[in-house]
Amino acid sequence: MEIVFPRLFFAGNRLLGERVENVSRTLGDLRGIFADVDAFSRMPQNILAYEVSSFLPEQEGTPGGLYFGITYLHPGKVGNEYFMTKGHFHANIDRAEFYWGLEGEGMLILMDQLRRVWAERVFPGSLHYIPGGVAHRMANTGNTLFSFAACWPSDAGHNYREIADHGFAARLLEVDGKPQLIGV
């Protein structure tokens, strides 16, 4: 029997190991996703909005494979809209995904193909099943770093186009100090 060292481990805010990829998104990378264009243009574009550290053990598109990632979403707002991820459908639209909360507080915003939107509170230990055909985006509703983990099929892919072109049918805004989903 062989006992081996794990292939993958955490080091601070990062996964370490082979086939780990780290991606950063600045505010400038998120141009077009926030409602308040004036507030957006007054903010420094090089602010770090989020980082994703992913373990991608198989070639993208491998049927039956799994990917794992942790997203670190910084606190902040553009006008009264919370910092959020770009959001996407999966390129293979029927592929599902799990998200779960690690630290801080946030909201998972979901939209089906009929553009019906709903949201789930995310907190350390909360678990979220995102069915196939449902676009997903996270928002940081707190004042501290919000991090969450994700596990998705390696043949899911990301379709950012749909959301970049048409957005979500509702926005998560701070109203009287609380997050509220407002239809657009």
Nearer to Ni ion, 79 or 158 (CB): 158
Contact 69, 75 (CB under 8 A): no
CA 152 to chain centroid: 12
Compute the distance between CA of residue 151 and CA of residue 101 in angstroms, rounded to an integer: 12
Question: Per the structure block, which two tokens stand in for 61?
Answer: 């598109």
Question: Which x/- pattern, by CB under 6 A, does the window 29-68 give for ligand PA5?
Answer: -----------------------x----------------
Residue among 15, 78, 97, 134 that touches ligand PA5 (CB under 6 A): 97
Q: Distance of CA 133 to CAs 57, 95, 106, Å?
A: 24, 7, 22
Nearer to Ni ion, 97 or 105 (CB): 97
Question: Candidates 13-21, 28-36, 94-102, 162-170 — which segment interacts with Ni ion by CB under 5 A?
Answer: 94-102
* Closest to 152 measured CA to CA, from 66, 23, 64, 54: 66
Q: Return residues touching ligand PA5 (CB under 6 A).
A: 52, 69, 71, 85-88, 97, 136, 138, 150, 152, 158
Q: Return residues touching Ni ion (CB under 5 A).
A: 97
